[in-house]
Every structure is written in structure tokens, then in C-alpha cells.
Structure 1
Amino acid sequence: MGDYVRRLQLPGGSADLARRTPLALRLHMDIPLLLLLLALTGFGLVVLYSASGKQLGTVIRQGQYFLLAYGVMFAAAQVDLQRYQRWTPWLYPLAVALLVAVMFVGVGAKGAQRWLEVAGFRFQPSEILKLVMPLTVAWYLAARSLPPRFKYVLACLVLVSLPSALILLQPDLGTALLIAASGLFVLFMAGIGWRYIAGAVVLAVMSAWPVWMYGLKDYQKQRILTLLNPESDKLGAGWNIIQSKTAIGSGGWDGKGWLNGTQSQLDFLPESHTDFIIAVLAEEFGLRGVLVLLAIYLLIILRGFWIAVNASSNFGRMVAGSLTLTFFVYIFVNMGMVAGLLPVVGVPLPLVSAGGTSVVTLMAGFGVLMAVATADTGSRR
């Protein structure tokens, strides 16, 4: 099946279209998605103030990151979808080259070498791949018949494996898995056959033991063992999970009230303003607050899928679907990790946890999503 394009034809041509197109579409903004993102980031700042120990400076700094991220989102939305398709073959090798540079001149911290520093500015090249990877696989498949044949699936796996392996060497297992998932989600959106998915599941099961024996480092094995029995090392590896589950359980339905959480305010809860911020929310706002956050996340995901289904091209559909599914995985992994259902892998709660690079990358992805939603409407810069 070749690519398809949906276009709106009006009697007056482009002038009539420009006159009738709403302002939001001319600015390439999807209003429902924008409102949901504003609600999410606003809620996140409220929770962050408490999670950071009432540090107003932390909230202001995160607010500045959000302003930058919204600016990046707006700029990304202005780019025509066909330009993304043309630029992608150059973005992928550039992103891989930055990952190679990390191996030789990267900046290390806490036993990991993941950052590059240029003119005093430090950034994490692997974050760029969270956007470049789905664009790359979608670009490759958009020029071919769908669903993809076996040789094209293999080529996509090579494109996914190269940067994922480089990120594993940093080491950063969580980010590597997320980036690999973003590429594989494009294959799923391309209509890959269920026999490939079943084969991948069988291969994953068969490789579990070799990966455990030879692929995982000692601290990664310890995280999995701690997940199975956190009480085995209550004051060490199991401390994070035990305190997190204590905070979540003590919140009940109503919560203890904003700024009144004992686990977070008394510093029992580790990384309370980053990876474990959902535990702060559960303790202070209770299950009701968690359900409100989940409702916002769910509406964002549903809007993303709506954009994917109504995309005007195969490229846009695959990119939008992959970005939406990757956003879901972020939420699932973080909440599963904090609840003690998944190993601790250092994945922040999207647009709620404190952070800079990850926030900008996520919002850039939403900018691309808006570019897909408003494709073929208004004029492009």
C-alpha cells in the first residue's frame, strides 16, 4: 500500500482556505492538546514545590524550563511535516555521532558517562534520540509499501539497535529501552504482522538467561533482585521502594494535604522531586490526586492517537503513533517503578518530575505531534 494524502479542497483555493482557517490552525496549535499540557505542567509545578521541600528556586527554575520547552514546541509545530521527512536522514547520523563523541569526550557523573559539555552548557545526546529515532524509522518505512516486508523490518532493527547499543555502553539501560521502544512502535504503527511480534516475544524469553548472565551489570541485577524482595536490604538497595510504597499507602483516598506529607517533608523519600515525585503526590493528595493526574495523562494519550488516526500521510501517522505510545511508556515505567512493580531504572514522570533536557525533548515531540495534526492547513514558515 502506497502513501496516501488527505487534502481539504475549498472553492476559493488557498486564499479562501486561509480566510476560513481558524487562528489556532494557522499557528499550527492543537488547542485540546495544548490545554491538556498546560494543565499537566501547572499541576506538576504545584506538586514540585512540595516535593522539593518548599524550594521556590527549584520551582522557578522548572518554570523557566517549561517556558523554553513551550517555545521549542511552538517552533517544532511550525515546521512542515515534509521538511521533517527531508531532514531526518541528516538528523540520525548527527545524533549517532554525538553518542560516539560521548564515549571519548563525554562528561561523567555517578559512574556514568552520558553528557557532552559545550561552552559551559551540558546536555545529554541520548535525549535527542527520543525524537530522532521514531522520525528515522518512519522516514525509512514511508517510502516503502506497508505493511513492511521482512528485509525492511531487519533494516529498521539495525537503525534501532545502533544508537540503543551506544547508550547501553554509557551505561543507561532505561533510556536505551525507551529509545528502542520508540523505534519499534513505528513498526507496530506500520502494520507489522503478528508473527513478527510473536517471534520477538519468543526471542526475548529465550534470551532472558544469557542477558542475565552476561549482559547485565551487577547493580542492574541488584535492582531486579530488590524488586522481588525489597525487605532483603531495607537500609540499602530496598530503601527507595520501601519508602515509596509507605508514602503511597499512607495517603489513602484524601491524602494528608498539600505540604503535609511526612515521607517527603522529613526526607525519608529519596529523589522526591525527580523519579519518585508520584509518591509525594499520592501521599499529599491521596488516590484522588493520582486519579486526576492519570485522567490528564489519559486524555493526552487519547488526543495523540486521534491525531495519529487522522494524519494526512503514512509518515505522520507512524510518527504521531510512536510519540504517543512512547509517552505512555514513560508514564507506565515511572509509576510501575515507584509502586514496586518494575525495577528502578531512573525514568522521570513526564512533565511533572524536575528536569530540563527531558522536558524540552518531550515538548519538542508534542510540537511534532501538532505539526502532524495541522498538516496542510495555513502557511508554514
Structure 2
Amino acid sequence: MQTKLQKYFPMLRSREEILREIDENVKLTEQFYSWREAQRQEFLDFCTGVRGIKMLYDSFFKEVMNPETVPERLEEFLGILLNQKVKIIEILPGDSTRIADEQSLLIMDILVRFEDGTYCNVEVQKIGYAFPGERSACYSSDLLLRQYKKARSVKKDHFTYKDVKGVYTIVLMEKSPAVFQKYPDEYIHIFMQKADTGLEMDLLQKYIFIPLDIFKKNVENKGIKNKMDGWLTFLGMDDAEKIIELINTYPEFREMYEHVYYICRNVEDVMGIFSEELRIMDRNTVRYMVDEMQETIDEQKETIDEQKETIDEQKEMLAERDRKLEENVCEMQEMQESIEELKKQIELLQK
């Protein structure tokens, strides 16, 4: 029986065919049955078209959106997102220190240079980081400094700050941090620095955050409204019905799905891709839990500090009250002594 997507992509193989190939190969059999039942089911579902491919898998994304072999795809996506014509002229090496420092939490990191000299860093995160703003600002500053150093090196004595063209930092998140959940109807957040007076200056750093989990909820209710929604559906959704809606609305996406589904015909290769994604996800989950725990610890420490401050204030109030009580006691003792003295005087007068 055909799956929904096999009707559109006949290169997809049947479940029986894939399982037969796995069972005939000892290495593949060991690998397949080392996965949990839910993971085995997920693998078979996307290989047979029960569900779509998760395009944010590192290997699939880099294959289908590779700026070296198919730059027009990334150029179109970025052009629509940035609302400007985009021409990629160079793919720059990433920051290996950064990736090592983040213990592979950064799933995909593509850094390109546009025709006008602007740098654009596109990140894909399975699980969004804690402190997304602070972190992105730090790495954007690193890229800006990198561009500045290159411009000074090339221009030498002719260098001016006009030669520094700026940096875009674009972050797509499958599961976004809590701060984004406060805006359930917004799934593209654009940040840039502006003066409170209206004075305009280009401060060079711009940020775009795309929480795909929030996008999914919106598109499920409202449908695909425009080409930007089409791209986010392609990148972020594996629901078969949505994929069919997408290729019927924008047929040009069919070619990209076919690109990946031909990869899926090689069971050994696609099992390797899936195993790597599971390994990365496990590391991500551990790190995410660590980040969440650290955030909880920081919040608890802040609460404890506030409570300590309240206790200190209460101690000071109690000390002040004790001082007043002591003053009242002293006053009462003085009054009592005065009364005793008056009594003695009265007794002397009565004799």
C-alpha cells in the first residue's frame, strides 16, 4: 500500500523492501536494532514517506542547501527573509573553537559573504540555547571583529570604518527557549540597534531568530500564506499533509524533496546520517538539561539572595524594635524611680 508521499515521490521505497535489506546485512541489523523502538519507527516512516524528512538534519540540510553546489536555494531563502537581493560570493570557514566550546550543541553553522561584503551566519539548533540574546551578541561581535581585521589587512593605510559592512546572525530553532513562548503568534523576530531619539546610524549588527516550533503551531491553524511560510514549512515540518500542500502551492520545492529522497534510497548511508543525528540529539539533550539546571540554580540563587536581603531587613527592623523596647524600659524604670521618690517625699510631709 502506497504512503501519501509515495504518490508524489515514487523513488521512495516500501517498508518491507527496507527491512529486507537491513535483515540481509549483519552490520545494518545490529545498528538498526540498537535503536529504541520509537527511533526505528521514525527511521522507517521518513524513508517510506509516512512522514517527511526532517530537513534540519545536518547532513540533509547541508546537502540540499549547500551554498557551494546550489547557492541559489540559500540565496532565495535569505533574500526573502532579509527582504533584499542576496548574492553569495564566498563560503567562509566557521569558528572551530566556538563549536568545540559549545560541545556540538550547534547543529549547523554556515557562514557566507554577500556581494556587498556583508557577513551572514546561519545557525540551526535542534534545541535553543539558554540566554539566546547574550550568546548571539557575543558571536556576532566576534564576526564583526573578524571582518574588521580582514578589511584593515586588505586596505592598510586606506582603511576606513566604511569598509566594515556588517553582520547578520540568523538562528533557526526546532525547540525554542521559554522567552519565545511569550509571543505565540510571532515566529520571525528581527533585532537591530536603534536610537531612542530617532537618530539613524548603521551599527552593523542585525539578528533574526526563527522559533520553528511556534511557526508549526501557526501554520497548522492558518495554512501556508506566502513563500516565507513555504520555506519554513520545507525546513521545519515533516507532516505529510503539509508537504503535499507545500508542493502543490509552490511546485519548485518538489525538486528539493526529490534530492533528499534519492539519498534515502541508500539504506546504509541514510542509517549513518540518522545515527549521527541521534548521537547529536543525545548530546544536545544533556547539554540543554545542564543549561536548564544552571538557569534554575541561578534563579534559585537570586531568590535566596532576595530572601536573605529581606531577612537582613527584618533583622534590622527587629533590632530597631529591641532598641525602642530598651528605651521604653529605661523610661519606665526612670518613671518608677521618680514615683518612689515622690512617695518618700509624701511620707515625710505626712509625719
Which structure has the higher relative contact order (CA within 8 Å, separation 6+)?
A: 1
Q: TM-score, normalised by structure 1?
A: 0.25
Larger radius of gyration: 2
Identify, as 1 or 2, the structure richer in helix. 1
